[in-house]
C-alpha cells in the first residue's frame, strides 16, 4: 500500500457510516455503537499492514466489528429495547401513519433475533449475496437462506401485530370520542 | 416450482430471482404483483435500517487514529528522551483552559484534538521566549477574519512553492518544518496580519476551503474555538506562535487540524 494514511482515510470515508449502522443494530445503543466503530478502526489501523487485498477491506472491517461486539457483549448487555418500545407505543396514536410504520419497523428490527438480523443487514444494507453472507458469518448457504426467509417472515408478523394493535387502539379511541 | 416455493424464494432474496423463479413468473404473470410487494417491503426495511449517523463520526475516527499514532510515537520518544516527559506534563495543563464547543459530540472531538496537539506538537508555552507578545483571543480572531476577507481569491487559487526546498524555506520563516506534504494544500504563501508577518495556507476539503494562518510571535494561553461571521475556527498555541484554522464547520476544522499537524512540526 502506497500511503496507508490515505488508504485508512478512504476506508473511514467509505465504511464508517454503514459500520456504525451495523453496530447500532447489533448492540441497540448509539453510544455503544460509536465505541464499537472507533474500536474497529483502531484495531484496523494497527493491523492495516496485514491487509494484503484492498478489496477484502469491507469484509475485514465487518469481521473486526463483529468480534468487538462479541467481546463487548460478554461484558454487559444493555436492556433498552423495552423502554424504547414503550415510548413508541405511548405515542403512536399521534403519529402520521408513515412515521408510525417506520418506527414500528425500527422496533421490529430491534426485536429480531441477532441470527436473523445479521444476514438481513448484510443483504439489504451491504448488498451481500447469499454466498458472501455465508462466508462472512461462517454459515452454510442453506442456513443463510433459511435465516433470510425467517427474518422477513418475523418482521411481517411483528408488524402485523403492532398494526392491528394500533387499529384496535384507534377504534376504541374513536368510540370514546363519539360518546 | 409451485406457489409455496416461489413465495419462499422471494422471501430469501426478492432482488435476485433464479431461473426457476423467472420461469414461474413467465407462466403466472399475475404473480409479479407479489414480487413488487415483497420488494416494496424490502425498500421499507432498507429505509428503517438506514439510521442517522452521529455528526462528526468520520472526523472523530480520524482524530482518534492520529492521536493513537502520535501517542505511539511519543512513547518511543519518551523512552529515548526524558525531556519529552516534561513537555507532555506541562502541556497537559492546557486542557483546563480549553474553551469547549457547546455540543456534546464536539466536546469529545475537541478533547481528542487537544490531546493530539499535546502529543504531536509538544506545546511548550511555559518555555516560550519572553519577547512573545500576549494578544487577546477575540482581537486575534477579528484580525484573522479581516485578513481572510481581504483576498478571497486565495481560497480557490492554486499557488504554492513548487520544490520541496522552497516549501521548507517558506515554513522555516515561521519556525516550522514539514515532515511530509500537507494533504490537499492548494495555496501557501507569506502574509501580513496587522503588520505581523505570517504564513497563509489553504487546504481544500470536500465541504470547501479551509484557511490556516501561522502567526509567529503571538501567544495565547490555550486552544480556543470560535464561531464568528459565519465561520468556525480554532486558535492553537504552538511553540513560538499561534496557528489559526478557519472553515465553514468544526468538522472541517478538525480534519484540517489533523492534516496540518500530521505534516508540520514547530521547532
pLDDT in tens, A77-112: 554 444 444 334 444 444 456 667 788 889 999 999
Of the partner residues A25, A34, A145, the one whose CB lies closest to the CB of residue B54:
A34
**B65 and A41 in contact by Cβ < 8 A?**
yes
Cα–Cα nearest to A123, from A138, A136, A105: A136
Cα–Cα distance between B40 and B38 in angstroms, integer?
5
3-state secondary structure of B176: strand
A120 touches chain B (CB under 8 A): yes
Distances (CA, A) of B198 to A36, B57, B121, B143: 42, 33, 18, 12
**A148 and B13 in contact by Cβ < 8 A?**
yes
Q: How many C-beta atoms surround the C-beta of residue B152 within 10 A?
A: 10
Cα–Cα nearest to A131, from A140, A176, B239: A140
Of the partner residues B42, B57, B183, the one whose CB lies closest to the CB of residue A16:
B57
- Residue-by-residue pLDDT tens, chain B, 267 positions: 888 899 999 999 999 888 889 999 999 999 999 999 999 999 999 999 999 888 778 877 887 777 676 656 545 544 443 332 222 222 222 222 223 233 334 444 444 554 444 444 433 333 344 444 556 778 788 888 888 888 888 888 888 888 888 999 999 999 898 888 888 899 999 988 767 788 999 999 888 899 999 988 888 776 777 888 888 888 888 888 889 999 988 888 888 888 888 788 887
pLDDT at A89: 40
Cα–Cα distance between A142 and A130 in angstroms, integer?
9
pLDDT at A88: 40
B60 touches chain A (CB under 8 A): yes
Q: What angle do CA A11, B69, B238 make, to 5 degrees?
A: 115
The terminus-to-terminus CA distance of chain B in angstroms comes to 76
Contact list in A for residue B184 (CB cut-off 8 A) is: none
Mutate to test the interface with A, among B15, B56, B65 (most CBs of A within 10 A): B65
pLDDT at B218: 84
Angle between helical axes of B83-92 and B57-80 (0-180°, round to 10):
140
> Does ipTM exceed 0.90?
no
pLDDT at A33: 92
A2 touches chain B (CB under 8 A): no
pLDDT at A43: 93
Residue B229 is given by DSSP the state T
Residue of A nearest to B10 (CA): A149
Start-end of H helices in chain B: 3-12, 19-27, 32-49, 57-80, 83-92, 104-121, 137-150, 164-172, 250-263
- The torsion angles phi and psi of A95, rounded to 5 degrees, stand at -90, 145
Spatial neighbors of B240 by CB under 8 A, at least 6 apart, are B128, B129, B132, B175, B216, B217, B266, B267
Residue of B nearest to A39 (CA): B61
pLDDT at A112: 93
- The torsion angles phi and psi of A14, rounded to 5 degrees, stand at -75, -35
A12 touches chain B (CB under 8 A): yes
Distances (CA, A) of B148 to A85, A154, B167, B192, B227: 51, 58, 21, 11, 15
pLDDT at B155: 82
Closest approach of A108 to chain B, Cα-based (Å)? 10
Cα–Cα distance between B152 and B82 in angstroms, integer?
45
Of the partner residues A12, A21, A38, the one whose CB lies closest to the CB of residue B49:
A21
Cα–Cα nearest to B237, from B98, B100, B107, B108: B98
The pLDDT tens digits for B37-89 are 999 999 999 999 999 888 778 877 887 777 676 656 545 544 443 332 222 22
Cα–Cα nearest to B101, from B87, B115, B113: B113
Closest approach of A174 to chain B, Cα-based (Å)? 29
The strand pairing partners of B193, in sequence order, are: B196
The pLDDT tens digits for A18-50 are 999 999 999 988 888 988 999 999 999 999 988
Amino acid at each position: 500500500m502506497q500511503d496507508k494514511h490515505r488508504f485508512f482515510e478512504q476506508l473511514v470515508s467509505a465504511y464508517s457510516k454503514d459500520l456504525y449502522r451495523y453496530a447500532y443494530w447489533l448492540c441497540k445503543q448509539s453510544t455503544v455503537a460509536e465505541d464499537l466503530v472507533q474500536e474497529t478502526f483502531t484495531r484496523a489501523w494497527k493491523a492495516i499492514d496485514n491487509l494484503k487485498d484492498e478489496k477484502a477491506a469491507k469484509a475485514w472491517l465487518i469481521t473486526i466489528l463483529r468480534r468487538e461486539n462479541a467481546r463487548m457483549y460478554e461484558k454487559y448487555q444493555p436492556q433498552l429495547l423495552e423502554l424504547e418500545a414503550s415510548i413508541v407505543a405511548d405515542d403512536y396514536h399521534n403519529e402520521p401513519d408513515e412515521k408510525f410504520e417506520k418506527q414500528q419497523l425500527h422496533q421490529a428490527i430491534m426485536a429480531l433475533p441477532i441470527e436473523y438480523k445479521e444476514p438481513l443487514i448484510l443483504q439489504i444494507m451491504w448488498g451481500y449475496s447469499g454466498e458472501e453472507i455465508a462466508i462472512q458469518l461462517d454459515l452454510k448457504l442453506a442456513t443463510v437462506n433459511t435465516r433470510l426467509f425467517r427474518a422477513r417472515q418475523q418482521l411481517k408478523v411483528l408488524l402485523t401485530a403492532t398494526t392491528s394493535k394500533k387499529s384496535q387502539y384507534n377504534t376504541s379511541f374513536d368510540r370514546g370520542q363519539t360518546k | 416450482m409451485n406457489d409455496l416455493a416461489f413465495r419462499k424464494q422471494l422471501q430469501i432474496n426478492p432482488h435476485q430471482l433464479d431461473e426457476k423463479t423467472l420461469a414461474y413468473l413467465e407462466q403466472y404473470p399475475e404473480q409479479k404483483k407479489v414480487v413488487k410487494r415483497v420488494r416494496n417491503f424490502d425498500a421499507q426495511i432498507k429505509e428503517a435500517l438506514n439510521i442517522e449517523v452521529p455528526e462528526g463520526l468520520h472526523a472523530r475516527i480520524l482524530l482518534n487514529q492520529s492521536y493513537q499514532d502520535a501517542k505511539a510515537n511519543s512513547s518511543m520518544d519518551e523512552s529515548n528522551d526524558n525531556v519529552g516527559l516534561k513537555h507532555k506534563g506541562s502541556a497537559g495543563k492546557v486542557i483546563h483552559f480549553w474553551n469547549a464547543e457547546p455540543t456534546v459530540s464536539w466536546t469529545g472531538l475537541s478533547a481528542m484534538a487537544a490531546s493530539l496537539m499535546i502529543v504531536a506538537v509538544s506545546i511548550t508555552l511555559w518555555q516560550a521566549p519572553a519577547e512573545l507578545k500576549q494578544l487577546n483571543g477575540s482581537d486575534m480572531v477579528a484580525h484573522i477574519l479581516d485578513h481572510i476577507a481581504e483576498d478571497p481569491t486565495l481560497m480557490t487559487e492554486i499557488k504554492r512553492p513548487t520544490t520541496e526546498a522552497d516549501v521548507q524555506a517558506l515554513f522555516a520563516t515561521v519556525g516550522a518544518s514539514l515532515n511530509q506534504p500537507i494533504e490537499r494544500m492548494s495555496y501557501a504563501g507569506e502574509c501580513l496580519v496587522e503588520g505581523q508577518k505570517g504564513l497563509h495556507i489553504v487546504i481544500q476539503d470536500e465541504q470547501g476551503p479551509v484557511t490556516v494562518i501561522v502567526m509567529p510571535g503571538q501567544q495565547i494561553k490555550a486552544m480556543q474555538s470560535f464561531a464568528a461571521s459565519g465561520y468556525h475556527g480554532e486558535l492553537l498555541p504552538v511553540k513560538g506562535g499561534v496557528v489559526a484554522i478557519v472553515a465553514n464547520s468544526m468538522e472541517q476544522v478538525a480534519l484540517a487540524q489533523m492534516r496540518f499537524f500530521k505534516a508540520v512540526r514547530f521547532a
